[in-house]
Structure 1
Amino acid sequence: MSKQQNYLALWYHLIWATKHRLPFIQRAWKWELYGRMRDFCETKGYHLDFINGIEDHVHLLLSPKPQYAISDIVRDIKRDSYFWVKEKGFCGDEFGWQDGYGALTVSPSQVDAVRNYISHQEVHHRQISFEDELNKIRQIVHISHT
């Protein structure tokens, strides 16, 4: 009798913005926020490989186990980080995440390229706005709104 084995390489590039795309995420505490998000993912069993962003949005490179739905993962990370920011008092009562998110699958051969892209967000956004970035991504991968 043969033993069934599953081999999976599931990678996602997740993107979401702050509420109304306001510049809430400040340099003084953004890495602390990203550390919290990383720790949360670890406790939940999601593999957060890389995270970065700018004042109004975040990018995550994630490789979760197949039993987790991406919508649940995003909901969980947003919820935990929202309450963490509130608890820390970084933005008063103003902070929030937008309701939606972007989720793109990433070929294992492109993981390094996506990691590099995410790592250079500050430089990247000196040249292109978040809205223009999203429009470009939508065009490249033929995404419509859902």
Structure 2
Amino acid sequence: MSATFSQIYIHIIFAVKARDFALQHSWEEELYMYITGIVRNKGQKMLAINGMPDHIHILIGMKPSCCLSDLVREIKKSSGEFIRKHKRTAFKFQWQEGYAAFSCSHSALEKVISYISNQKKHHQRRSFREEYRALLDRYEVDYSEDFLFDF
């Protein structure tokens, strides 16, 4: 009998369109629970989720059968509909196109979970722009300023 064994961890980051500060502290936990439900319903494991008013970080344990771009598309589509349906913002809410995704080793999980859990404290010292560029540089991702999130 054969089986598939895997250990795939992905740190995902995406932002609110036009860098509007739209995610409010008063309902962010409800949004995080909703997104967690999407991830679980797609058969993946939510390990951490947190963010700021202008962006979100998610850490998932992913099965090899999952297509990451399809999962992120579903998370953004469904959570955007959830925010609009429940009228959580005064303007038309949208996530910005694109996302960042970084693989994580099992040995780095605690550090990444702590990083995501402490987003509010972390961003007292560093802007999203600085954070995003630092992650791209750390993971040696080639990028063009023209295609970064709208800052």
How high is the TM-score relative to the length of structure 1? 0.94
**Structure 1, residues 81-137: CA drift from partner, whole Å, max 9, x if none?**
000001100114421101010000000111111000000000000100000001111
> What amino acid sits opposite 1:4 in the alignment?
S
93-102 vs 24-33, greater mean Cα deviation: 93-102
2:50 to 49, 52, 59: 52
Distance in 2 of aligned mates of 1:93 and 1:24: 9
RMSD: 1.2
Q: Give the CA deviation at 1:46.
A: 1.9
Task: Find the counterpart in structure 2 of residue 73 from structure 1.
Answer: 71
Distance in 1 of aligned mates of 2:121 and 2:92: 27
Percent of counterpart pairs with the same letter?
32
5+ residue gaps, structure 2: none
CA contact (8 A) 2:7 2:62 kept: no
Distance in 1 of aligned mates of 2:129 and 2:21: 14
Q: Give the CA deviation at 1:5.
A: 2.8
> What amino acid sits opposite 1:21 in the alignment?
R
Task: Find the counterpart in structure 2 of residue 36 from structure 1.
Answer: 34
5+ residue gaps, structure 1: none
Distance in 2 of aligned mates of 1:23 and 1:52: 15
How high is the TM-score relative to the length of structure 2? 0.91
